[in-house]
Amino acid sequence: MAGPIPALEERATACAEHLLECDRVLLASHIDADGLTSAAVAASALERAGLPFETVFEKQLDAEAIEAIAATDYDTVLFTDFGSGQLDIIADHEDAGDFTPVIADHHQPAEADTTYHLNPLLFGINGASELSGAGASYVLARALAEAGEESGTAGTVETAGEPTATDGGAATARADNRDLAALAVVGAVGDMQASGGELHGANAKIVAEGVEAGVLETATDLALYGKQTRPLPKLLEYASDVDIPGISNDGNGALRFLDGLGLELKRDGEWRCWATLTSEEKQTVASALVKKAVTSGVPAHKIDDLVGTSYVLATEPVGTELRDASEFSTLLNATARYERADVGLGVCLGDRDEALERARQLLREHRRNLSNGIDLVTREGVTREDHVQWFDAGDRIRETIVGIVAGMAVGNAGISRSMPILAFANKNDEEVKVSARGTHSLVRKGLDLSVVMGEASRAVGGDGGGHDVAAGATVPAEKKDEFVEHADAIVGEQLGDN
């Protein structure tokens, strides 16, 4: 029986067979939604294969972190959602006999290779849009089940305590790890791979396995964030990706729009959410929304963005963030941003008590921190140079969220949309983190913040990079002003308005 992605099958099997020969494994993963789901997929597969393991998380897999991993007495290290980009350092440790790496990643590999390296980019599959770290881990998990079955090393652990007689389908899905497809999809969605409203390529094959296994449902649906948990008026008000005049960012407008549809909007005094509407009710709202967008002059390609594929985790309760891949990944990101990978992993592995409650609390705090941060920046304002605007939050906004705050504050009073914004926050005693945010219209005019942050930071002894519309850097604290000067000059050149 073939795995979900034939091109990766042979390598995945080699990785799986090596793992199954080990006495125990150290699992190391990245701290973000994709990394957490990667770890959960790998941890479940290792456990079902009867392989003892321990899990560690890193925000950044740098030389120091790899050194610490090498210092443990594990002979085999399974890296998920990172490892490829650090392969040069990892290979040195492998050569020194510190450990044998097994890597399930989707990032650009460094100039080195190793035997047990599972990465879609090595097999002509796009790692940015077709397979995430969790997807690569899923491919490995499927191979682990398959190889375990053939070698007879697994088969005793995985069905313990599971209903088998009455629930044959679910038991089979669990025995071959297809039930883990749901987490793989949460990882892909969390890694922003659902471009144009749906998952493509290898990701789509994983979706198909999840549907077959009964853990996923897909539907063409409204492509708004919060269908499971947001009260209907908030769902529409906060949907800012497609700007519908009179509804987006307009609480009263959203209420008036819904009131005019003749629907039962509340039940037991509580606003209903999208997920609890009947299909007719959803149809009524969706058609009215499209009509409103058309009559408000929203361009056709934007109206298309209102509709997309929803990925529903079929075994999770309706009306919870766990049921929607996008809301699930947001919950995981909230745990990751506050360095509570243990909480995120707990939720992925099925802890619906303590871990879930803590994750929800972290998400509430995260939203509060964002809103406080936006208030702070708006109140204190930004400093304008010729081509960029900036603010320094010091210790008052965490460096892990200062970029999101900057992006959300743009457009508020005194914060221009017509130049990029740089946001500083303290990282430690010696360094500051700087996050840059632009707009797509500035990118069309030539802005590339990845280049700006990379060049300006290296000019002052720091380092940085990212994407054209959003990037980040770390620079020595005393070089902040010099960094701003460099960034200002480079943006001026890019936009050609020197």
Binding site for Mn ion (CB under 5 A): 34, 81, 133, 191
Q: How far is CA 397 from the centre of its chain?
A: 21
Q: How far is the CB of 105 from Mn ion (least distance, A)?
A: 8
Q: How far apart are the first and last CA of the chain?
A: 62
Of residues 109 and 148, the one with the C-beta less far from Mn ion: 109
Q: What's the Cα-to-Cα distance from 125 to each of 85, 112, 119, 134, 182, rounded to whole Å? A: 16, 19, 9, 15, 21
Per DSSP (E only), the strands in 236-326 are 266-267, 270-271, 307-313
Q: How far is the CB of 132 from Mn ion (least distance, A)?
A: 5
Q: How far is the CB of 435 from Mn ion (least distance, A)?
A: 19
Q: What type of residue is 411? A: G
Of residues 192 and 318, the one with the C-beta less far from Mn ion: 192
Judged on CB neighbours under 10 Å (0-12, 13-18, 19+), 140 is buried
Q: How far is the CB of 283 from Mn ion (least distance, A)?
A: 36
Q: What's the Cα-to-Cα distance from 161 to each of 45, 156, 158, 179, 411, rounded to whole Å? A: 17, 11, 9, 16, 55
Per DSSP (E only), the strands in 18-160 are 25-30, 53-58, 76-80, 100-104, 117-118
Q: What type of residue is 455? A: E
Q: What type of residue is 488? A: D
Q: How far is the CB of 471 from Mn ion (least distance, A)?
A: 17
Of residues 34 and 488, the one with the C-beta less far from Mn ion: 34
SS3 content of the chain, % helix, strand, coil (to 5): 50, 15, 35
Q: How far is the CB of 74 from Mn ion (least distance, A)?
A: 23
Cα separation, 197 vs 219, in Å, equals 11
Of residues 131 and 487, the one with the C-beta less far from Mn ion: 131
Of residues 194 and 273, the one with the C-beta less far from Mn ion: 194
- The sign of the dihedral angle between the CA atoms of 48, 49, 52, 58 is negative
Of residues 82 and 116, the one with the C-beta less far from Mn ion: 82
Judged on CB neighbours under 10 Å (0-12, 13-18, 19+), 316 is middle
Of residues 20 and 347, the one with the C-beta less far from Mn ion: 347
Q: What type of residue is 197? A: G
Of residues 144 and 188, the one with the C-beta less far from Mn ion: 188
Q: How far is the CB of 276 from Mn ion (least distance, A)?
A: 32
- Other C-beta atoms lying within 10 Å of the C-beta of residue 411: 11
Q: How far is the CB of 333 from Mn ion (least distance, A)?
A: 12
Q: How far is the CB of 139 from Mn ion (least distance, A)?
A: 14
- Alpha-helical runs (H) found in 319-473: 325-337, 341-348, 354-380, 402-409, 440-444, 449-459
* DSSP-assigned letters across all residues of 41-52: HHHHHHHHTT--
The closest residue (CB) to Mn ion is 34
Nearest to 242 by CA among 260, 224, 220, 221: 224
E strand or H helix that includes residue 93: helix 87-95
Per DSSP (E only), the strands in 171-303 are 216-222, 266-267, 270-271
Q: How far is the CB of 34 from Mn ion (least distance, A)?
A: 3
